[in-house]
Amino acid sequence: MKRFALIATLIMALAAGFGCAKKTTDEAPMSDTGISAEMQAAIDQITDARVYFAFDRFDLTPQYKEVLKAKADLMKTYSSIRVRIEGNCDARGTQEYNLALGEKRARVVYEYLVVLGVNPAQLEMISYGKENPAVDGTGEAAWSKNRRDEFRVIAH
Amino acid sequence: MKNIVTLVFTLCLLCAAQAQAAMRVDIYGPGENIVNLALAAPLTAPSTEAKGLGAKLNTVVLQNLSVLPFMKLTDKQNVLGGTVLEGYDNPGVDFKRFQIAGSDILVTAFWPKGDGNNSTVQLRAFETNTGQRLFGKEYAGVKEKLLPEVADRFCADLLEKLTGSGAFFRSTLVFSQKTGKMQGNLYLVKPTGRDLRRITNIQGEALSPTWSMDGRFIVFTHLDAKSHALGVWDRASGQVQRIRFPGNTVIGPAFMPNNKVAVSLSNGKTPDIFLLNHAFQKERVLESTGAINVSPSFDSTGTKMAFTSNRMGGPQIFLKDLNSGTVTRVSQNGGYNTEANISPDGTLVAYSRMTDYGHRIFVQDMLTGVERQVSFGPGSDEQPAFCADSYFIAFASTREGGRGIYLTTRHGGEARKVPTGGGNVSFPRWGMPGTGDGK
């Protein structure tokens, strides 16, 4: 009877082990935050690539339209992702005008993503004007890095 | 008979006007933007110097007057024979020693019952060349803690005699102090640097504060990581209300004389200027063109609105007649003019222009069309704001490294710094005289 119980336990343990193995091979690996690797890669791709602008301009260059196409594809694939588009300006302009310019920069990207098929409910936007520089300092090297849109995933 | 009465009344008015004109020291005219002023030693009796409250009051008055950009104070070391006089009123005042020292105006102080606590002081101002008394006033119940208030009242009265308005010393400035990235609160301060105090304690950054006409409210742009909002500080409660709007954009609010707020909000495409009702809800559009429209400011009648727009490419200053709807371009030079601020009398528009050396403040005379540069750096001079007298201009500048608040005049007098306790400060805005003590 004791031997029978031992064999039954071993069979259950093996079955459980096979079960676990099957589960891990069927699903994507999970990160520490509970996000699948693919989802995390999508989030990284959406947030990493910024869109930059010329001084006192808010028009999109072809280079950044390509960047936005990639973001749009990911957002359509992962429709649970919500993104905040953050418009920013360099330190040369004045604060109130830059808040308006930052909004134009955020809005042009918002509208382009919607044209590409992203659900507007996945997007929100804000202008920080010149209040949130990416880099400190003066000169075109710093200014050009601050005239940007950033993308922050706020839900997924 | 009626005609004779009218004629006599008219003559009286003319005489009064002439007397007033004779007393007025014109600091508005070109080339007349420096006034040399001396303070005689305070007296408790002829040739007897007051060394108690009298000496302290003189010090505070000197501190007050030293912030006036057109005022040059005579060093008492330069007065031959000293500043202790035999008398405090004509005759008995030796004006000659002050004339020699270059003073245009002399102020005397007399404490008839001594300068102990709860005493009375008589303050007088004279033109040194003619000996004519410009102004004289008695202040009773003077105590040590009231000295700043007495000094403010005297300086306001004196300034009113000199310029026609004492608004400078009766006003309170609100400004924003930045403490970090998108972190900053609002403070109040007298233009003399006194009565400095913080009035908000909120997360995020407070920008573009502006006073209501009655001094009860200050509205401002509140910015945090997620949203813009219209911040409303109520002096009655000391609390801040945060009002959000669709589009998540709130830029540069300004009160109109009827205590309604104009502010740039998103219309779904671009920031336009909206008028809010008394409940801070959208009432109607004030300016909408498909381009950026921000930074409205109004004259005291509420019929003229100066603002910034990029409708012609780069940002420029425009003026809208709210009665006719006519919009005219104000700034004609430079490619980047922003931060329009119209004087309460509607005759001047100040703005900042981007130059190769930073921003500079310019003032355009709307009657003559003449533009005048009134700030000269170094660093960047921004955010001009007219005082209620349409004469003084406060602005933010980085001329000493960190951003501070400075005062100049519509003629561009030598800029004087407003003591604000240090820190990175900006957006000075004047309250209406006598309304903005924030207490």
When CB atoms are compared, the residue of A124, A126, A131 closest to B181 is: A131
Confidence of residue A138 (pLDDT cuts 50, 70, 90): confident
Question: Distance, in angstroms, between A126 CA and closest chain B CA?
Answer: 6
Q: How far apart are CA A20 and CA B356, in angstroms?
A: 68
Confidence of residue A13 (pLDDT cuts 50, 70, 90): very low
Residue among B319, B274, B273, B320 at smallest CA distance from B292: B273
Q: What is the pLDDT of residue A30?
A: 60
Q: In this prediction, what percent of chain B has a pLDDT beyond 70?
A: 92
Q: Residue-wise over B160-185: b if at least 16 C-beta within 10 A, else e? A: bbbbebbbbbbbbbbbbbbeeebbbb
| B309 token code pair | 């727009």
**How confident is the model at residue A25, as a pLDDT?**
40
Which CATH architecture best describes the domain B172-430? 6 Propeller (2.120)
The answer to whether the CB of B175 falls within 8 A of the CB of B187 is yes
Cα separation, B297 vs A96, in Å, equals 13
- Inter-chain touch B294–A100, beta carbons under 8 Å: yes
What is the total residue count of chain B?
Answer: 439
CB–CB contact A103 B271 (8 Å): yes
Dihedral Cα B232, B237, B239, B245, nearest 10 deg: -30
pLDDT score recorded for residue B268: 85
Q: Alpha-carbon distance A146 to A141, whole Å?
A: 9
Closest chain A residue by Cα to residue B317: A97
Contact indicator for B418, B408 with CB cutoff of 8 Å: no
In terms of phi and psi (left: phi > 0; alpha: psi -120 to 50; beta: otherwise), the region of B165 is beta
User: C-alpha distances in angstroms, B192 versus A4, B65, B143, B161?
Assistant: 96, 8, 20, 19
Q: Whole-angstrom Cα distance, residue B364 to residue B378?
A: 21
| Residue A104 touches chain B, beta carbons under 8 Å | yes
Quote the percentage of chain A above a pLDDT of 90.
72
Instruction: Name the residue facing B266 among A84, A93, A103 (closest C-beta).
Output: A103
Q: Is the pLDDT of residue B199 over 70?
A: yes
Q: Is A89 on the interface with B (CB under 8 A)?
A: no
Chain B residues whose CB is inside 8 A of the A56 CB are 310, 314-315, 336
Residue B351: predicted pLDDT: 98
Encoding tokens for residue B396?
A: 């933010």
Assess whether pLDDT exceeds 90 at residue B389. Answer: yes
- Which secondary structure element, helix H or strand E, spans residue B222, and what is its range? strand B217-223
Where along chain B do its domains lie?
22-163, 172-430
Q: CB distance from A108 to chain B under 8 Å? A: no
In this predicted structure, the answer to whether residue B91 has a pLDDT above a threshold of 50 is yes
Distances (CA, A) of B236 to A53, A101, B199, B239, B257: 45, 35, 12, 8, 20
**pLDDT in the model for residue A15:** 43
Using one digit for the tens of pLDDT, what is the confidence trace for B103-139?
999 999 999 999 988 899 999 999 999 999 998 999 9
DSSP secondary structure string, chain A? -HHHHHHHHHHHHHHHHHHHHHHHHHSPPB-TTS-BHHHHHHHHHHHH--EE--TT--PPPHHHHHHHHHHHHHHHHSTT-EEEEEEE--TTS-HHHHHHHHHHHHHHHHHHHHHTT--GGGEEEEEEETSS-SS-S-SHHHHHHHSEEEEEEEE-
Residue of A nearest to B381 (CA): A94
> Is B207 close to A101, i.e. CB distance below 8 A?
no
Give the nearest chain B residue to A128 (CA atoms): B223
Partners of B337 on chain A (C-beta within 8 Å) are none
Q: Which residue in the set A56, A84, A131 is minimally distant from B223, CB to CB?
A: A131
Q: How far is B125 from chain A (nearest CA, A)?
A: 43
pLDDT of residue B421: 87
What CATH number does domain A34-155 carry, 3.50.50.60, 3.30.1330.60, 3.30.56.10, 3.40.250.10? 3.30.1330.60
Supply the mean pLDDT for chain B: 90
Q: Is the pLDDT reported for residue A141 higher than 80?
A: yes
Q: Answer yes or no: are the C-beta atoms of A88 and A147 closer than 8 Å.
A: yes
Residue B341 CA to its chain's centroid (Å): 13
Measured in angstroms, the CA of A97 and the nearest CA of chain B are apart by 7
CB contact under 8 A, B228 and A94: no
Quick check: A65 pLDDT over 80?
Answer: yes
Q: Could you tell me which chain B residue has the CA closest to the CA of A102?
A: B249
**Is some CB atom of chain B closer than 8 A to the CB atom of A27?**
no
Distance CA A102, CA A93 (A): 11
Q: What percent of chain A has pLDDT over 70?
A: 79
Q: Cα distance from A79 to chain B (closest Cα, Å)?
A: 21
Nearest Cα residue in chain B from A93: B354
Q: Does residue B171 contact residue B387 with C-beta atoms inside 8 Å?
A: yes
How many C-beta atoms surround the C-beta of residue B26 within 10 A?
12
Determine the Cα–Cα distance for residues B171 and B433; give it in Å rounded to an integer: 4
Q: Tens digits of per-residue pLDDT, B347-385?
A: 999 999 999 999 999 999 999 999 999 999 999 999 999
CATH of domain B22-163: 3.40.50.10070
Q: How far apart are CA A48 and CA B288, in angstroms?
A: 35
Is A124 within 8 Å of chain B by CB?
yes
Q: How confident is the model at residue A43 (pLDDT cuts 50, 70, 90)?
A: very high
The 10s digit of each residue's pLDDT in B37-65 is 999 999 999 889 999 999 999 999 999 99
Residue A120, phi then psi, degrees to nearest 5: -55, -25
Domain boundaries, chain A: 1-30, 34-155
Residues 29-88 (A) with a CB less than 8 A from some CB of B: 56, 84
Which positions ≥6 away from B80 have C-beta within 8 Å? B97, B100, B101
Q: What is the mean pLDDT of residues B291-311?
A: 97
Q: According to the model, what pLDDT value does residue B401 have?
A: 87
Q: A96 — contact with chain B (CB < 8 Å)?
A: yes
For B308-347, write each residue's pLDDT tens digit.
Answer: 999 999 999 999 999 999 999 999 999 999 999 999 999 9
B263 pairs with which residues across the strands? Answer: B274
Are the beta carbons of A107 and B182 separated by less than 8 Å?
no
